[in-house]
Amino acid sequence: MKTRDVVRSLTFRGIVTYVTALSAIVFLLLGAVYLYFSYTSFRTLGESVMSELETLEVVYSGQSLAGVTQYIDDQLASSSIHRFYYLVTDAEGIKIAGDLPARPSYREFDDGWLGFELALQNWGQSIDVEFLAYPMLLGDGYEVMVARDYADIVDRAELVFTTLFRFLIATWILGVIGGFFSAARTLDRVERLNLEVSRIIRGGANERLQVKEEKGYIRVLAMFMNQMLEQMEALMQGVRRVSDNIAHDLRTPLTRMRNDLSQLRDRSRQEEGGQLERIIEECDELLSSFNAVLRISTLESGSRLAGGSDVELRALLRDVVELYEPLAEQRSIDLALEAPEPQVCKGDTDLLFQMFANLLDNAVKYTQSLGHIRVQMSTKLTADGSRRHCVVISDSGPGIAFLERDHVFRRFYRVESSRGEHPGHGLGLSLVQAIAQYHYGSVELANNNPGLRVKVELP
């Protein structure tokens, strides 16, 4: 089994689509949840800045600027990691207290919030850190600004998103690998089932699928298929039984009747004898159609050719042509065989002879005198590289109208124009088709311009 087959299989494609969609949805959901938490973090941060400003306002109103300066110095002295940054300026914008530089370049956000970047000295390294700040007027031109960095929030967000993304990729890859193996397994089982089924098609309905090796739904499927095969076999046996019964129950009395008639003829006078002779002939006709129908039924309902012997087609065709040569000659029809080299196929000699004899019989029957009949044999390679034998019998007769070409293979069907004009019971071509199909071959009719062209293909 090829990787390409697995990748192309529906199961694999289905699993890949599913895994992709699932990862995307999980990613989006977790992303949304995290965005919500980030938003909450920012809000908490904003609220803490506001409450710090309120504290400063209270301090200012109680102890004026000196109190504020004192408060800020106290706060800066306590070195907590997440702390506030301050800037107090006078009316001219001159820095009075705080640890922020006098004039960082601010970006203005909505609702009076400001954002800026500042390099902080951390363990001897200067790192650019993002700040969020809010300014407030204290009175007498004094202004205080409280800021807080949010690097931790951003770091956390980056970490979470990177992790999420990596998980997404890992899940996708694992899912696809799993999908590949599970598709390969399914495909393998289906392929095994296919092989089994094609074995049954070749071998006949008495074969069964191996259920023991299968598991799960394939086992159930195999069991159902076996039940189906059982029903089919029962039906086929039924058909065979019916035709055997017909053979036994109807042909036997017909034969008795015919034999009684023949005894009667031997004992009868001249003029009655002639009449009885005609009845006997009718009886024989009836019996021979009967036999032909039964033969076709058996060929069609039974299992196909199993094994068969080697048949040399050129020799067989030579014999058929030779058999019909005198008949063709009698009617001044030119009958020629074109078979450059011997070809061997597997088959039943008598049946193949019957098939080609029927076709030649028709050709001779329907070709007017001074016409010609060609029998050509060749081989061709099929798409899957196997050889097929091809026998074409073409004549210069009236041919068969396009619309009637499918019907002529039906039992008892006779082309309207030939009814009454030519003898026959309309079973010849049905038998030809049954024999060809029994040999895993096919029959096709085509126009020979003018005439009929019958192409028989045998494996």
Partner 1 sequence: MNVLLVEDDQQVGDFIATELTAVGHHCVREIDGAAGLRAAQNATFDVMVIDRMMPQMDGLALINALRDAGDNTPVIILSALGEVDDRVQGLHCGADDYLVKPFAMPELLARLDVLHRRVSAAVGESETTLVVVDLSMDLLRQHVQRQAINITLQPREYKLLEYLMRHAGQVVTRAMLLEHVWGYHFDPQTNVIDVHVSRLRQKIDKGFDHALLSTVRGKGYRLGPQLDD
Interface residues with partner 1 (CB under 8 A) are 244, 247-248, 251-252, 254-256, 258-260, 262-263, 277, 280, 284, 287-288, 291-292, 294-295, 298-299, 302, 319, 322-324, 326-327, 330, 348-351, 353-354, 357-358, 361, 364-365, 423-424, 428
The answer to whether the CB of 369 falls within 8 A of the CB of 333 is yes
The distance of closest approach from Cβ of residue 17 to partner 1 in the complex, given in angstroms and rounded to an integer, is: 53
Q: Considering the complex, what minimum distance in angstroms separates the CB of residue 459 from partner 1?
A: 18
- Smallest distance from partner 1 to CB 362, Å: 8
CB 425 within 8 A of CB 292: yes
Q: Closest CB to partner 1 among 151 and 279? A: 279
Residue 335's DSSP bridge partners are 373
Per the structure block, which two tokens stand in for 390? 């091809």
The 8 Å CB, 24+ separation contacts for 197-200 are 197/225, 200/229
Angle at 447 between CA 445 and CA 451, to 5 degrees: 105
Select 99 or 319, whichever has its Cβ closest to partner 1: 319
Q: What's the closest the beta carbon of residue 351 comes to partner 1, in angstroms?
A: 7
Residue 388 CA to residue 352 CA, distance in Å, equals 15
- Distance of closest approach, residue 393 Cβ to partner 1, in angstroms: 15
Instruction: Between 303 and 442, name the residue whose CB sits nearer to partner 1.
Output: 303
Q: Which helix (H) or strand (E) holds 317?
A: helix 313-330
For residue 205, give the DSSP letter: T
Q: Which residue's CB is nearer to partner 1, number 233 or number 319?
A: 319
In whole angstroms, the minimum distance from the beta carbon of 307 to partner 1 comes to: 11
State which residue, 357 or 390, has the beta carbon closest to partner 1. Answer: 357
- Which residue, 67 or 424, is less far from partner 1 as judged by CB? 424
d(CA 356, CA 317): 7
Contact 85, 92 (CB under 8 A): no
Residue 341 tokens read as 């080299």
Residue 51 or residue 263: which is nearer to partner 1 going by CB?
263
State the nearest-atom distance from the C-beta of 415 to partner 1, in Å.
15
Degrees to nearest 5, angle at CA 217 with 211 and 221: 55
- Coil, helix or strand for 66? helix
